[in-house]
Structure 1
């Protein structure tokens, strides 16, 4: 499941990316996050924000590989 929305402040928000445990580790989350980036770009957004639990090393690593950077605690932007 993945949810991305366009925010009235002028950015997109990748609100949720999640998989059942048995489907993790197959690159599905990465594919969904890439679709979120494409969705944001296709709507003229220059910023995509996301957030993750501070203990979720897999999500943090994926977000870093995609170029997200911390600008607020728990929220990352690309």
Structure 2
């Protein structure tokens, strides 16, 4: 896991995170990490751009199967169980 040092955080924000940590019986570091995680979720367009970049760079093979075919295959396997 990586480390991150954030400077010049507003005092009010630090106090809110400390309060959340106290309420949830967790650490300030844990609450800050959770808040960052919630704030960094990617949009569909961002995820698509990452995939397209990986395809262009040859990091992902191009699949010749549609999403519908994948869902059908999963559904068929479940019916056999």
TM-score by length of 1: 0.25
Taking CA–CA contacts closer than 8 Å with sequence separation of 6 or more, which of the two structures ends up with the larger relative contact order? 1
Give the number of the structure whose residues are more often strand, by fraction. 1
